[in-house]
């Protein structure tokens, strides 16, 4: 009986002490207890085996001790794993808190930056709107300026002052006192100035400016530009009839040039100067325009000489074009594209009626064959013809 009671008490103690270590450990102990109980019962039923039951008990106890040690190791390992998991969880919570703080910080920075940008954009939009109004006002003023200038030109006496030109004598300043001539070359005057030129015997004289000093004198000026005060981006009728103030910035008129050059042989002189006061010239031995039915084509252009290189030969034989009368062979309207009016081909090497701007652009006054100028905008240009 003492042998039977001892293992039972021991087994219960083991079961009670390890019950908290998990269901598997509890089931294992219950199973071992059942084996021990079965062995004890068998010993009671078989008296001759009582002597050997002590040895069996020791074996069972040894196995139980081993199981207890294994369960303790397992418990410690599980506890360590639990602590590791807990530490990892705490670390994750700390990292999550840092991430949340960083996200909040960056979100605040981003929000502040967006607010600053919105304020800047609003300010820029307001500034652009103000500039747009100013530009619109300036465009309106410029548009009205040209109209006012045209109206004033009707009442303004012809001026005799031009860039790099001498003023004519006092008796030429009054239209009623201007001499009537057939050509600038035939006049006896030695002073440059404004004269009345007869295009035909029965025609009304037109005012022309004669250059009587440079290149031997006797030159009739057909185009002159020097300060951009006159708008040269004009339509067909203006270029046909002429515009500007003779002696200042002006275009004599295609019809007048045609009438003059058709009655004899004329040569052409082109004077050029950039915004750095570099002067060049181009001279051609012959120059003649066709009539309006021929679109005032550049019918004749003689051989070149001078210092500016030949930028006009490319245009020989071409019709004259304006933004409202596209007569060039190019697929686009060269006059519109390059803000001028000229004997364009496809499109130009010279553009003396382009925009008066101090910048590099093919839409400015330029003489492209000149290597030092290329597409540089020119300040001064003067075209003159003389009877040979």
Q: 272 near 295, Cβ under 8 Å? A: no
Contacts of 159 (CB under 8 A, 6+ apart): 245, 247, 248
Q: Which pLDDT value is given to residue 153?
A: 54
What does the DSSP 8-state code read for residue 230? Answer: S
Nearest to 259 by CA among 210, 320, 306, 198: 198
Tokens 């000149």 correspond to 370
Contact between 195 and 177 under an 8 Å Cβ cutoff? The reply is no
Domains of the chain: 1-156 (no CATH), 159-387 (3.90.215.10)
Q: Note the pLDDT of residue 132.
A: 78
Structural tokens at position 8: 């039972």
DSSP reduced 3-state for 99: helix
Closest CA to 196 of 205, 183, 209, 185: 205
DSSP-derived secondary structure for 248-317: SSEE--HHHHHHHHTTS-EEEEEEEEETT--EEEEEES-EEE--GGGTT-EEEE--EEESS---SGGGTT
359 in helix, strand or coil?
A: coil
Q: C-alpha angle with apex 247: 243 to 251, nearest 5 degrees?
A: 30
Look at residue 117 in the predicted model and tell me its pLDDT.
Answer: 86
Q: What pLDDT is attached to residue 130?
A: 79
Q: Are 269 and 256 in contact (CB under 8 A)?
A: no
Contact 338, 362 (CB under 8 A): yes
Low-confidence ranges of the chain (pLDDT < 70): 1-53, 139-140, 142-177, 201-202
Residue 202: the pLDDT is 64
CA 134-139-145 angle, to 5 degrees, is 125
Residue in 49, 234, 64, 50 with CA at minimum distance from that of residue 149:
234
DSSP 8-state code for residue 151 = H
């Amino acid at each position: 009986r003492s042998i039977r009671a001892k293992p039972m008490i021991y087994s219960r103690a083991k079961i009670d002490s390890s019950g908290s270590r998990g269901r598997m450990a509890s089931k294992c102990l219950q199973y071992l207890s059942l084996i021990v109980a079965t062995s004890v019962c068998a010993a009671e039923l078989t008296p001759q085996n009582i002597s050997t039951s002590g040895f069996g008990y020791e074996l069972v106890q040894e196995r139980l001790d081993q199981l207890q040690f294994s369960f303790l190791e397992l418990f410690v390992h599980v506890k360590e794993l639990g602590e590791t998991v807990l530490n990892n969880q705490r670390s994750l919570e700390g990292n999550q808190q840092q991430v949340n703080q960083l996200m909040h910080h960056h979100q605040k920075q981003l929000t502040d930056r967006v607010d600053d940008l919105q304020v800047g954009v609003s300010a820029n939009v307001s500034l652009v709107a103000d500039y747009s109004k100013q530009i619109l006002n300036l465009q309106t003023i410029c548009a009205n300026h040209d109209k006012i200038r045209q109206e004033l030109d009707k009442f303004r006496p012809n001026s005799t002052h031009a860039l790099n030109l001498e003023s004519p004598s006092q008796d030429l300043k009054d239209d009623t006192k201007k001499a009537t001539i057939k050509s600038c070359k035939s006049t006896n005057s030695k002073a440059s100035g404004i004269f009345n030129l007869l295009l035909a015997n029965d025609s009304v004289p037109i005012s022309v400016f004669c250059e009587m000093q440079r290149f031997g004198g006797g030159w009739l000026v057909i185009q002159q530009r020097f300060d951009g005060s006159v708008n040269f981006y004009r339509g067909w009728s203006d270029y046909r009839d002429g515009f500007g103030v003779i002696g200042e910035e002006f275009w004599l008129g295609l019809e007048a040039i045609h009438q003059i050059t058709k009655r004899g042989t004329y040569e052409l002189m082109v004077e050029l100067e950039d915004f750095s006061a570099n002067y060049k010239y181009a001279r051609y031995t012959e120059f003649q325009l066709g009539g309006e039915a021929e679109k005032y084509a550049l019918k004749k252009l003689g051989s070149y000489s001078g210092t500016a290189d030949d930028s006009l030969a490319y245009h020989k034989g071409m019709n004259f074009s304006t933004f409202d009368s596209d007569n060039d062979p190019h697929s686009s309207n060269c006059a519109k594209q390059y803000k001028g009016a000229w004997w364009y081909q496809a499109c130009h090497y010279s553009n003396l009626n382009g925009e008066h701007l101090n910048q590099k652009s093919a839409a400015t006054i330029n003489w492209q064959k000149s290597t030092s100028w290329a597409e540089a905008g020119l300040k001064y240009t003067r075209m003159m013809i003389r009877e040979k």
